Amino acid sequence: MSSSPPDVSAVLARGRLGTWAVVFFVIAAAAPLTVVAGGATTGYAVTGVRGIPVAYLLVAAVLALFSVGYVAMSRRIVNAGAFYTYITRGLGRPAGVGAAFVAVVGYNAMQIGLYGGFGSVLAGFLADRGMQVPWWLCAYAAWAIVAVLGVLRIDLNGKVLAVMLIAEVVVALVYDAVMVTHPADGGVTVDTLSPSHLLAAGIGAALVTAITGFVGFEGTVVFSEETKDPRRTVPRATYLAVAITGLLYGASAWAMSVATGPDKIVDAATADGTDLMFNLVSPHLGSELVTIGRLLFITSLFAALLSFHHTVARYLFALGRERVLPAALGRTSRRTGAPKTGSIIQSTLAALVLAGYVLAGADPIMHLFFWVTVTGGLGVLILMTVTSLAVVVFFARTPNDDGLWRTRLAPGLATLALGAILVVTVEQFDTLLGVPTTSPLRWWIPASYGITATVGLAFALLLRTLRPDVYQAIGLGAQSATAPLRTPEPVHQAAR
């Protein structure tokens, strides 16, 4: 053949993702402006902890440590259901199913909680413009759009996400600059960045609030097979995502405390809620810039809603593919290829929870947005802790030349650090919820994950006896079809 067409590698390289594309996809799920304007402010208000900024920075450092082992493992195991796959490979199939169930609950909580934020913020935005719409109507409007986009398998376009994300970061940085250059009476202080807060009462609550803000970054490894060079792209994207969001969250939460004065930040956050940041900058900025910020806050909430909706639907799809959950979940819509059943289940669950909140007349920001997303954050914290442990065990059993740091030290230290955060979080869950220490909720919410994990574990053991073929395929996700034929390869060799 004289004029040879492009070779296999060249064809497969088309449309592969580069580092920044992956960063944009995952940070969109983390929704920076949602975290800065919504998570940090509500965190101050509900927990009453001043050390929110230092909590963000500490958590970023811990997550960077976690990422070392996590991305090392992603080079060995390519699978879209990262956490539970890794846990399956490290700690066995029953632990994997337990983790999968925890993940489904946790990501659902993240998604559903965001409706509270979206509904309330949009309602507030409209109210400022003379339109009185109840928060739940705004939430249901978003719900309807997400439900439709979910079954049509429409995701936000990568370019749209990139533009939105850059705009969000720019707006947050401009606001930060405005707040820091207009400090409260005491001038610019770094009080809220002081590590001494890490020993203060209620820091567990602050730390899990911070973790909640990062949820989504773990999605980088899902793209392994889609990237130009999985060995480099995925680690780089992961560290970049953690660094960018960590610095932005820490800086913005700190800037707010500078503008109000560190001693008044909690009171200001309690009074203004998710408006705090906008209220702080509006005297010093043109109203257009404030409106743009508010609009971006709403769009970032929506991007996060859609992203977590797809995450849940895909988790259910992967479990259906493995037949751990009914096989119907593993089917896709014929025309759109959407994991339809999972998508519908997620939407139905969200609709029911929203209805419950409306009927109970609960507060959308505190009881739905904060409580429920932080509960989701707790689920992800549990998953990350167990995943770190799984990484250590996996590499201890698998011959490798990845070095002591990546396979033992970093994941080992991450397990300890995340475990410590988990312990103080559960201990201080009452502070986190802002309820009295005697409230049964403070035990019920953490315990619900224990129950979920136990159910998963028991279910896996049941499968081992009743459906050994299904048991064998646990953790294989899309690859489960190959289970009866061959031991799946630990690494899928992506064509270069």
Per CB under 8 A, residues contacting other proteins are 1, 4-5, 7-9, 11-12, 14, 17, 25, 80-81, 153-158, 222-223, 225-226, 314, 317-318, 321, 330-339, 477-482, 484-486, 489, 492-493, 495
Nearest residue (CB) to other proteins, 291 versus 332: 332
The span from the CA of 194 to the CA of 457, in Å, is 42
- Classify residue 389 by burial, with Cβ atoms within 10 Å: 0-12, 13-18, 19+: buried
Nearest residue (CB) to other proteins, 17 versus 112: 17
Q: Tokens at residue 102, please?
A: 């925890």
Least separation in angstroms between CB 333 and other proteins: 8
Least separation in angstroms between CB 95 and other proteins: 21
Nearest residue (CB) to other proteins, 9 versus 181: 9
Nearest residue (CB) to other proteins, 57 versus 78: 78
The span from the CA of 395 to the CA of 421, in Å, is 24
Least separation in angstroms between CB 230 and other proteins: 12
Cβ(341)–Cβ(318) below 8 Å:
no
Nearest residue (CB) to other proteins, 362 versus 478: 478
Nearest residue (CB) to other proteins, 346 versus 479: 479
Least separation in angstroms between CB 11 and other proteins: 5
Least separation in angstroms between CB 257 and other proteins: 37
Residue 266: half-sphere exposure toward Cβ, Cα within 13 Å: 11
If we measure between CA atoms, which residue out of 311, 345, 113, 65 comes closest to residue 212? 113
Nearest residue (CB) to other proteins, 84 versus 125: 84
Least separation in angstroms between CB 453 and other proteins: 23
Least separation in angstroms between CB 187 and other proteins: 46
Is the Cα dihedral 288, 293, 294, 299 positive or negative? positive
The span from the CA of 143 to the CA of 319, in Å, is 24
Least separation in angstroms between CB 16 and other proteins: 11
Nearest residue (CB) to other proteins, 70 versus 370: 70
Nearest residue (CB) to other proteins, 321 versus 442: 321
Least separation in angstroms between CB 190 and other proteins: 40
